[in-house]
């Protein structure tokens, strides 16, 4: 029998899947759940092709890890079979802790619990089930393994995660300006003093990578329509919680998994102590959310039903950007118009904050203080990309850019 399976990926082509540990992980319900969680949440409201899933992305990141490890072996670095398998497992499972709609609902359904913490928790549960076969992968994921460069390939500013999602998200959104040369970047990787470096001749590919990442954030991930739809989704679940608590004798329609999270505000500690919470989390995906939103359009609560109807019919909030928090005449006039909108729909003004919200988003394409991208010069010196590059604007990419927004209904 063949020791591998082949998957035809639209971004990378044929991906070879070993049937040993990696194949077992892919077939596990924890991982199969990622088929039902979109990679870009509600971005399809902007780019209709953005329908790819976390499952696609995890396989793509694993493929890039295979390519990177092969490159490093070719350059003379000793990578054992156990290390190879563990690195593949670590990148394959790096997003396994995402909840429905990924980042959009991460802070709404959960409390002070990052998806990476849940990914680690699920990896630990899998490790128990697999009798310790994931121990090395977990050490790599948590940066406890003595060879630090393995962790950098999983999580850094030039990791396989970022290289796949940038290339994949460009492909499915059609935003070709953000396309990166991941193949060339990987071919330029090396290891110097136990850290990942890029050969000097790859510097232009890294410059393009950072520019592309900045463009993708403002044009795709933080697009104003994406911000709008995510705000609407957050307000829907905020209201659904209230409605569910106010009428315990008339349970709000929801799948069992979603109902559990509407009734309970959970932390990571709750997951560790409550097996029921973990099972409901594994059963929760995008389909639970959409099914409930469709049903809630008929709910007697006017706020909940209107928000759900608006989202389903793409009657989205407008978004006004500002370099500073938005105040003054525009804020007041928009507030008054929103109150008129509520009056038209027979909704009391006390519910204004469901339809009129403020917030901010931020982005920095590169954070050198966090984990530098190192360039290996021909003379053997290793320098940060901002020092190695002759592009004057590259240092500006390390500045955190913050934009404030006001989201409100269309009048």
The answer on pLDDT for 259 being more than 70 is yes
Provide the pLDDT confidence category of residue 339 given band limits of 50, 70 and 90. Answer: very high
| Full strand arrangement of the beta sheet holding 195-199 | 189-192, 195-199, 374-376, 382-384
- DSSP of 219-231: IIIT-HHHHHHHH
pLDDT, one tens digit per residue, over 306-326 is 999 999 999 999 999 999 999
Report the DSSP pairing between strands 13-18 and 4-9.
antiparallel
Pair of tokens at residue 153: 């390939």
pLDDT, one tens digit per residue, over 69-82 is 999 999 999 999 99
- Three-state DSSP at 292 gives helix
The answer on pLDDT for 369 being more than 80 is no
The answer on pLDDT for 112 being more than 80 is no
What pLDDT, on a 0 to 100 scale, did the predictor assign at position 124? 97
Pair of tokens at residue 195: 């850290």
Cα distances from 360 to residues 107, 208, 226, 356, 406, in angstroms, run: 15, 27, 13, 14, 9
All residues at 6 or more sequence positions from 193 whose CB lies less than 8 Å from its CB, including other chains: 382
pLDDT, one tens digit per residue, over 21-50 is 999 999 999 999 999 999 999 999 999 999
Comparing CA positions, the residue from 306, 311, 312, 297 lying closest to residue 341 is 306
pLDDT, one tens digit per residue, over 49-105 is 999 999 999 999 999 999 999 999 999 999 999 999 999 999 999 999 999 998 888
Query: How far apart (Å, rounded) are the C-alpha atoms in residues 103 and 150?
Result: 26
The answer on pLDDT for 111 being more than 50 is yes
Domains and CATH numbers, the chain: 4-222 (1.10.3210.10), 226-362 (1.20.1250.30)
Q: Which helix (H) or strand (E) holds 320?
A: strand 318-322
**Greater pLDDT, 264 or 242:** 242
Query: How far apart (Å, rounded) are the C-alpha atoms in residues 28 and 89?
Result: 13
Residue 128, φ and ψ in degrees, nearest 5: -65, -45
What pLDDT, on a 0 to 100 scale, did the predictor assign at position 71? 98
What pLDDT, on a 0 to 100 scale, did the predictor assign at position 3? 65
**Taking each helix axis from N to C terminus, what angle separates 286-296 and 224-246, rounded to the nearest 10 degrees?**
70
Query: How far apart (Å, rounded) are the C-alpha atoms in residues 70 and 82?
Result: 14
CB 155 within 8 Å of CB 94: yes
**Mean pLDDT, all residues of the chain:** 93
CB 101 within 8 Å of CB 37: yes
pLDDT, one tens digit per residue, over 131-173 is 999 999 999 999 999 999 999 999 999 999 999 999 999 999 9
Provide the pLDDT confidence category of residue 1 given band limits of 50, 70 and 90. Answer: very low
Residue 266, φ and ψ in degrees, nearest 5: -105, 145
CB 21 within 8 Å of CB 85: yes
Comparing CA positions, the residue from 230, 282, 6, 246 lying closest to residue 101 is 230
Query: How far apart (Å, rounded) are the C-alpha atoms in residues 232 and 252?
Result: 19
Burial class (CB in 10 A: 0-12, 13-18, 19+), 213: buried
The half-sphere exposure of 249 on its side-chain side, counting CA atoms within 13 A, is: 0
DSSP, res 313? T
SS3 content of the chain, % helix, strand, coil (to 5): 55, 15, 30
Average pLDDT of the segment spanning 325-339: 95
Pair of tokens at residue 108: 């709404």
What pLDDT, on a 0 to 100 scale, did the predictor assign at position 210? 93
Q: CA gyration radius for the chain?
A: 23
What pLDDT, on a 0 to 100 scale, did the predictor assign at position 396? 77
CB 181 within 8 Å of CB 163: no
CB 138 within 8 Å of CB 117: no
């Amino acid at each position: 029998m063949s020791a591998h399976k082949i998957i035809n990926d639209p971004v990378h082509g044929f991906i070879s899947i070993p049937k040993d540990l990696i194949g077992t992980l892919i077939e596990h319900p924890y991982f199969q759940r990622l088929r039902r969680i979109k990679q870009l949440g509600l971005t399809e409201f902007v780019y209709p092709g953005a329908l790819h899933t976390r499952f696609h992305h995890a396989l793509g990141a694993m493929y890039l890890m295979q390519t990177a490890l092969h490159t490093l072996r070719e350059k003379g670095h000793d990578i054992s079979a156990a290390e190879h398998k563990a690195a593949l497992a670590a990148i394959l499972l790096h997003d396994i802790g995402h909840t429905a709609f990924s980042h959009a609902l991460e802070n709404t359904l959960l409390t002070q619990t990052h998806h990476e913490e849940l990914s680690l928790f699920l990896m630990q549960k899998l490790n128990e089930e697999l009798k310790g076969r994931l121990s090395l992968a977990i050490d790599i994921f948590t940066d406890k393994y003595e060879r630090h460069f393995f962790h950098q390939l999983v999580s850094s500013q030039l990791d396989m995660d970022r290289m796949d999602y940038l290339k994949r998200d460009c492909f499915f959104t059609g935003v070709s300006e953000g396309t990166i040369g991941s193949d060339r970047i990987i071919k330029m990787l090396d290891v110097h003093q136990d850290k990942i470096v890029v050969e000097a001749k790859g510097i232009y590919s890294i410059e393009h990578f950072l520019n592309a990442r900045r463009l993708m954030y403002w044009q795709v991930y933080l697009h104003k329509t994406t911000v709008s739809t995510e705000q609407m989704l957050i307000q829907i679940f905020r209201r659904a919680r209230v409605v569910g608590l106010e009428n315990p004798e008339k349970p709000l329609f929801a799948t069992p998994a979603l109902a559990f999270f509407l009734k309970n505000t959970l932390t990571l500690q709750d997951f560790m102590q409550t097996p029921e919470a973990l099972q409901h989390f594994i059963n929760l995906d995008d389909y639970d959310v959409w099914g409930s939103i469709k049903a809630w359009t008929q709910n007697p609560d006017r706020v909940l039903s209107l928000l759900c109807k608006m989202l389903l019919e793409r009657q989205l909030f407008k978004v006004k950007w500002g370099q500073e928090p938005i105040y003054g005449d525009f804020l007041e006039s928009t507030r008054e118009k929103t109150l008129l909108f509520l009056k038209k729909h027979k909704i009391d003004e006390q519910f204004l904050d469901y339809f009129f919200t403020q917030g901010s988003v931020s982005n920095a394409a590169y954070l050198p203080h966090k984990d530098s991208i190192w360039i290996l010069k021909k003379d053997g010196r290793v320098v940060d990309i901002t020092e190695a590059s002759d592009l004057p604007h590259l240092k500006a990419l390390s500045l955190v850019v913050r934009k404030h927004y006001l989201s409100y209904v269309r009048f």
